[in-house]
Amino acid sequence: MKVYKFGGASVKDAAGVKNVASIIQKYGEKDLVVVVSATGKTTNALEVVIKAYFDNTDAKAAFEVVKKNHHTICLELFGNETHEVFDKLQNIYAEVDWQLEEDRKESYNYVYDQIVSQGELISSVILSAYLNEVGVKNSWLDVRDVMKTDDTYREAVVDWKQTQSLMNSVVKPLASGSIVVTQGFIGCTAENCTTTLGREGSDYTAAIFANMLDAENQTIWKDVPGVMNGDPRVFEDAVFIDEISFNEAVEMTFYGATVIHPKTIKPLQNKNIPLLVKSFINPEGKGTIVGGSDNNLPPIRIVKNDQALITLHTKDFSFVEDEIVAEIFSSFSKANLKLNMMQQGAISFEAVVDNIPEKIEKVKAALQNQFDFSIDEKLTILTIRHYTNFEYINKFKNDRNAILEQRRLSTYQGLLA
């Protein structure tokens, strides 16, 4: 068994869908699960629909844009509107239309998951239909039938026991000697409500499939040759890395490398299943093996933009001791806001987080009685692993002022203004 994951960039248009089909034809004829993301910028477009719904503006008009984009793709792939894929898409669109007609609005996170999840359903229906059209027989699977979660909308936690049971009874027989096309990013509660596993969670979905199916390997098909020592859009001198260990991959994703979703590694590492990161643009390329060695790794550079520095000062000048630190951590945890950097003083605590206003407001509301609260925005974290000297670090600061720095033997982090 093998698991392939194709991201939104790989299926952003008809040409992309055709290219993905050619890769599957060439490299994965049987015993294969294909996990696909929403096409192109569909998730962003569906977020516009959700905003319009809550703002009481024309959400249906915003959703028509999404429909039109996929209609264009289907016309180019299938030629005319008589193909059965158009009826299948209408059934998916109906789920969104029903939600938009609801006068009583549920919580934002609940509505978000019901609507934004449809992007993956749409793209997988299109890919599955096109594969069948070109003679690559496959079964389409609604991942909600097997990926069971709790009801933490937008950050759902997988019920591993129930999901494993369904993988054994449903997916293994379906994929044996065949191809299954399904969706990343989404799951389902015991009450049959759709959930999502966190933004960009399709890599994680694929890793869950690989773990539970005891796959030979998992391949993530990207628009880059493989894992590189820096985002090539940021660092012109970025170089390709042949192989890295699971541990190094975990560290890279923890610090913000986006080539792999942070949750992807552990399910694979637990069963020592190699992860291949390959290019859908040049599928003949060897790609990177994650799960190998870390021999001769170059310095790895990671840039994380749109950061906010939260500074807390105790109002009564009491020391920030263990009990207060525990309360601070609890407030960030309840807001589901990860600390990317932190520093503690005698009467102050500084935390660097992704600038997500609604989550920051939750933290502020929880702590404002004890602390004076200030925020600095538009900051960047520069992380360099395996740096050779301080001159190398200074080279990539680009004359920006580091307002907070932390160094360990193998890792430098600077918060740049």
DSSP string, 235-303: -TT--B-SEE-HHHHHHHHHTT--SS-TTSHHHHHHTT--EEEEESSSTTS--EEETS--TTPPPEEEE
What is the mean pLDDT of the segment spanning 193-220?
95
φ, ψ (nearest 5 deg) of residue 4: -110, 140
pLDDT of residue 207: 98
Q: Is the pLDDT of residue 69 over 80?
A: yes
- Distance CA(99)–CA(4), nearest Å, equals 32
DSSP state string for 17-83: HHHHHHHHHHH-SSSEEEEE--STTHHHHHHHHHHHHHHTS-HHHHHHHHHHHHHHHHHHHHSSTTS
**Domains detected in the chain:** 2-215 (3.40.1160.10), 300-416 (3.30.2130.10)
Q: For residue 396, name the pLDDT band (cuts at 50, 70, 90).
A: confident
* Interval 297-340: pLDDT, tens: 999 999 999 999 999 999 999 999 999 999 999 999 999 899 99
Give the model confidence (pLDDT) of 119-146 as tens digits. Answer: 999 999 999 999 999 999 999 999 999 9
Would the pLDDT of 409 be above 90? no
- Average pLDDT on 379-388 reads 94
Band of pLDDT at residue 262, cut at 50, 70 and 90: confident
Tell me, what's the pLDDT at 357? 95
Q: Is the pLDDT of residue 398 over 80?
A: no
CA dist., res. 371 & res. 85, Å (int): 57
Helix (H) or strand (E) holding 10: none
Quickly state the pLDDT bin for 84 (edges 50, 70, 90): very high
Q: Give the Cα separation of 417 and 415 in Å (integer).
A: 7
Q: Quote the CA–CA distance of 66 and 46 in Å, as a whole number.
A: 7
Q: How high is the pLDDT of residue 28? A: 76
**Nearby residues of 199 by Cβ (< 8 Å), 6 or more positions away:** 43
Give the orientation angle of helix 118-133 with respect to helix 14-27, to 10 degrees.
60
| Per-residue confidence (pLDDT) for residue 399, from 0 to 100 | 77
pLDDT of residue 49: 97
Q: What pLDDT shows up at residue 109?
A: 93
CA distance 32 to 206: 11
- Whether residue 233 is predicted with pLDDT greater than 80 in this model: the reply is yes
CB 276 within 8 A of CB 217: yes
DSSP 153-204: TTSPPB-HHHHHHHIIIIIHHHHTTSEEEEESSEEE-TTS-EEE-STTTHHH
Closest Cα to residue 5, out of 89, 133, 123? 123
pLDDT number for residue 3 = 98
Q: Which one is predicted more confidently, 22 or 106?
A: 22
From CA 22, how far away is CA 37, in angstroms rounded? 18
CB of 100 closer than 8 Å to CB of 63: yes
Cα separation, 12 vs 126, in Å, equals 11
Q: Is 403 exposed, middle or buried (0-12, 13-18, 19+ CB in 10 A)?
A: middle
Residue 366 · residue 300 · CB < 8 Å: no
Task: Write down the pLDDT at residue 135.
Answer: 95
pTM for the structure as a whole: 0.90
State residue 380's pLDDT score: 96
On average, the pLDDT of the chain sits at 94
Residue 94 has pLDDT above 90, yes or no: yes
